[in-house]
Every structure is written in C-alpha cells, then in structure tokens.
Amino acid sequence: MKLYAAIDLHSNNGVLSVIDEEDRVLFERRLPDELTAVLDALAPYRDQLVAVAVESTYNWYWLVDGLMEHGYPMRLVHTSAVPQYDGIKHGNDHTDAHHLAHLLRLGILPEGYIYPREGRALRDLLRRRFQLVHQSTA
C-alpha cells in the first residue's frame, strides 16, 4: 500500500499527517521541531511512503536535510500556490497537513525547488542584499 505524508511546519512544532491511497488518516499529530521526534513518527510507515511534503515559509532546512539524510523522498511545498480546500469550514494545522498529503496523493501538489545545501548560504545572502537594495531605492 502506498502512503503519503505531509508536515505543516511552524517555528517550534509541526503537524504530521500520514494518509493511505483512500485518503484515510493513519497518523496525525503535532510534534515538536526535533528531527528524532519526526523520524520516530515516520518510522512505522517508512517503507510504504511515496514522499514526505513539507510546508514552511522559512524554517525547513533542518527538517528536509535531516529526512533526506535518512533516505526519505522529500517534496517542498510551494506555499503560495497551494489551492485552498473549500469544503473545510474551520481550517487548522491538522486539516492543512491532511490537505497537503491529499494533494501529494493526487499528484497535484505545487512544489518548490529544494536548493542544494552547499549553495543556500550564498543564495540567502543575495536575497537579503536584493531586499536591502529594493528598500533603499523605494
């Protein structure tokens, strides 16, 4: 059976949702931002996971790198391109994580590029410089 996982990551915790091919939730829990906690939660599903999607705007390097080092296939969610689910009256972190896993299962998850670790420092520096130049010319 194929399984799909998604993590809605925040500054000090994240919600992990693991679903099967029929969209049934097998695991869903808020976890601390600790690699060992995430690895322990994913371990029972490891062999069946198609991929793990991570949604985060800034705090994802440690998690994606750590899971990739342990052999997990990773996807970085393009946060601003994710379509919102209209059927949810009250969205929260759990519904967000489940929705991302659902989009991953359907093959329609908007993805961002996972920039190689060795080039990230320069890219981040150039982005910051661009922001400063933009501010000074505005």
Answer with the residue of higher pLDDT: 4 or 83. 4
Q: What is the SS3 string spanning the chain?
A: CCEEEEEEECCCEEEEEEECCCCCEEEEEEEECCHHHHHHHHHHHHHHEEEEEEECCCCCHHHHHHHHHCCCCEEEECHHHCCCCCCCCCCCHHHHHHHHHHHHHHCCCCEECCCCHHHHHHHHHHHHHHHHHHHHHC
The full set of domain ranges for the chain reads 3-137
Architecture of the domain made up of 3-137:
2-Layer Sandwich (3.30)
Question: 52-102, pLDDT tens digit by residue?
Answer: 999 998 889 999 999 999 999 999 999 888 877 655 555 788 999 999 999
* Confidence at residue 87, expressed as pLDDT on a 0 to 100 scale: 58
Given a cut of 60, whether residue 128 has pLDDT beyond it is yes
* Confidence at residue 98, expressed as pLDDT on a 0 to 100 scale: 95
Question: 8-61, pLDDT tens digit by residue?
Answer: 999 999 999 999 999 999 999 999 999 999 999 999 999 999 999 999 988 899
What pTM, to 2 d.p., does this model score?
Answer: 0.87
Cα separation, 66 vs 59, in Å, equals 13
